[in-house]
């Protein structure tokens, strides 16, 4: 539940997850060191003070955490466990033997990276190659992908077609029969597929550049 206590608890948990105190987190984000002090969370007349959206944005940028991770702390009140997830190259992703029909990584012929930001046990990292996704994603960037997350219009997604093509796009529209995808790079055309030609669609949660 999103309330005064859970939001402040999430700030504290985020700080702990990255080896910081609340004041250390504030300093790292370029804020006054007392911004997140417990004494500032309630005013003298007893009114609740909330962290500003700007301060939340700054601590996420400073730590490299995603909004999904912060919301996990809000909802669960627990630290995410750092675990290893598969790292798969974009060129590899289209080959047989790396994913099942639901888009879950299978096998084991991949590298791994440590990632603290997701509770999805099927999450994987995809290394971008080429320039078709610029300027949002560049050659060598890594995106964290969750096959278990629901997707909706406007989400950044990774899509695999039945002929083995893998691409990162923006979900423009999806009906019972078709899916429309927008390209990040204006020099590359948007795509339109029959759903029967799509093997799986997975949501991009986070990107490292």
What is the Cα–Cα distance from 38 to 105, expressed in whole angstroms? Answer: 43
Contact indicator for 119, 72 with CB cutoff of 8 Å: yes
Would you state the pLDDT for residue 27?
Answer: 93
- Supply the pLDDT for residue 104: 74
Token digits of residue 125? 């990292």
Element (H, E) at 4: helix 4-17
Q: How many CB atoms lie within 10 A of CB 162?
A: 12
User: Contact, 94 vs 164, CB < 8 A?
Assistant: yes
Domain definitions of the chain by residue range: 4-76, 83-208
Task: Count CB atoms within 10 A of the CB of residue 21.
Answer: 13
* Stretch (H or E) spanning 206: strand 198-208
Token pair for residue 152? 């909706």
CATH node for 83-208: 2.10.109.10
DSSP3 helix / strand / coil % (the chain, rounded to 5)? 25, 30, 45
Please report, in tens digits, the pLDDT of each residue of the chain (209 residues total).
678 888 998 899 888 888 888 999 999 999 999 999 988 899 888 889 999 999 999 999 998 888 878 888 887 765 455 567 888 887 777 677 777 777 777 766 678 777 765 667 788 888 888 888 888 888 888 888 988 888 999 999 999 999 988 888 999 999 999 999 999 888 889 999 999 999 999 998 877 65
Angle between helices 53-63 and 4-17 (to 10 degrees): 20
The two three-digit tokens of residue 108, written as one number: 């084991």
- Give the fold, CATH level 3, of 4-76: 434 Repressor (Amino-terminal Domain) (1.10.260)
The answer to whether residues 67 and 14 touch, using CB atoms and an 8 Å cutoff, is: no
């Amino acid at each position: 539940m999103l309330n005064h206590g859970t939001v402040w608890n999430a700030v504290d948990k985020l700080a702990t997850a990255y080896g910081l105190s609340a004041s250390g987190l504030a300093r790292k984000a370029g804020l006054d060191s007392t911004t997140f002090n417990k004494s500032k969370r309630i005013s003298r007349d007893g009114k609740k003070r909330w962290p500003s959206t700007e301060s939340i944005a700054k601590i996420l940028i400073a730590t490299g955490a995603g909004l999904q991770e912060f919301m996990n702390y809000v909802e669960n009140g627990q630290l995410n466990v750092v675990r290893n997830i598969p790292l798969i190259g974009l060129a590899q992703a289209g080959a047989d033997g790396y994913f099942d029909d639901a888009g879950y990584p299978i096998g084991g012929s991949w590298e791994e990276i440590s990632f603290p930001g997701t509770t999805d046990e099927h999450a994987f990292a995809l290394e971008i190659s080429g320039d078709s996704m610029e300027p949002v994603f560049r050659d060598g960037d890594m995106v964290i992908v969750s096959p278990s997350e629901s997707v909706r219009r406007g989400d950044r997604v990774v899509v695999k077609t039945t002929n083995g093509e893998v691409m990162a796009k923006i979900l423009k529209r999806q009906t019972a029969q078709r899916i429309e995808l927008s390209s990040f790079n204006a020099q590359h055309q948007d795509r339109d597929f029959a759903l029967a030609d799509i093997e799986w669609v997975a949501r991009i949660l986070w990107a490292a550049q």
